[in-house]
Structure 1
Amino acid sequence: MIEKRPSNDRGSTNIDWLDSRHSFSFGQYHDASRQSHGALRVINDDRVAALQGFGTHPHRNAEIVSYVLSGALEHRDSMGNGNVIKPGQFQYMSAGRGVTHSEFNPNDETSHFLQIWLLPNEENAEPAYAQSDIAQIEPKNGLQLIASNIDPAAPIQWRTDATLWRGSYTIGDSGELPGNGDRGYLHVIKGKLQLGEISLSEGDAAAISNESSSLNLVGLEDSEFLWFSL
């Protein structure tokens, strides 16, 4: 089954410094049918105003990835990491048994990034941190392997039962999405794609479960997307 999840069905948080769209229940947004999909728990599409951000706060037993689309994101945590994440970079933090961190926009322009949480496959592990830059990852059939717990070639080795690819298609590109079709999640960052009979545009997603046929994706416009095999 392929379930389209339109962009305008997402929840939202709008305050003076943050404009966020929630693909799953988060904060004050609650939808019983949007709690998680496999290990995938959160995809927040965040825009943070200049010189604003998330103050120091704790996490525990969560696999957290931020992907910066424009602007910058300054990260600091209780493990001693302090880095500015730039467009095209993925930041990974395994909260494990407990960590505190802050995320701040250090620039005079809006920071736009995706904040992604997944459920860990082991609890109370040692916290960990890593970064990956798409400019350093060789694409194959329009896909770049970002993170995995089963593929040693992935630049990010995380503690969750999922594999993450970043995709980039031009008009007319097509390919079969990797995975066995049992469960997956496609999130469109920009552009327009065709997945089977379903057309997907910016902010749309497709939740896949128990799909017996292959998942063929076609680029209808120049597009960027994330594919989670779950």
Structure 2
Amino acid sequence: MRGNLEKNKSTEIYLIQFAREHKEHFTTAKKWDEFASSYGYPTSRQYIYQFGSWNQAKQLANLPLSNRKEYTYRKYNKEDLIQIIKEYQEHFISKEEWNKYAKANGLPHYETFLYHDISWKEILEITGKKKYTYTRQELLTIAEENGEYFANRNTWDDYAKPKELPNSYEYIKEFGNWINVKHKILKIRDEDLIEIAKKYELGNFSRRKWDEYAKEHNLPPASMYIDRFGSWNRLKAMLY
């Protein structure tokens, strides 16, 4: 059903049946709108107009009610949130610090701003602060929690961008190259390193020449091998 809906009994029945048929998407108003917009389905606004509230629509469809988070998200509008940013700008140091302050003072958590399409970057622009810089430990913690997306830089960047996580450049700036990042997070096995060394005939390289070659071909640097196997000469002896 497309377009505006008038309030009547047949429309109510249709909307309730429609919600039940697509119940896996009928969770929060935002998630429903993301799904509905792709197919021209009735929006959350049309459900709220018809039934008075999102939860009322879900209740009539015998679907689990939205939790308190959804209510909190919708409690504020974008203008309210921008005013809060301006009023409490000195407390927007990091997402974690803001959430601590917000919890203690009855203010909306960062997720509420994100729900209304106000990114952390926009918050910092409003407050006049520079872009937040992640510590080495914060980068490692984020990476360990999302390790399955670290196969390559493109995969990570595609995953990180909508979630406002640090991009691959942030990691390379801290750890030197993407192989070092994967080494720290995914713990490349000794046998994997040996296999790479044999495949690319590492035994024919000096440390300096290997690093030049490794950088060009996105391979583990000499320092990783020495760290793992003790010395460059010992590593080369293991290859024969």
Q: TM-score range by the shorter chain?
A: under 0.3
Q: Structure 1 or 2: larger helix share?
A: 2
- Structure scoring higher RCO (CA < 8 A, sep ≥ 6) equals 1
Could you say which structure has the larger radius of gyration? Answer: 2
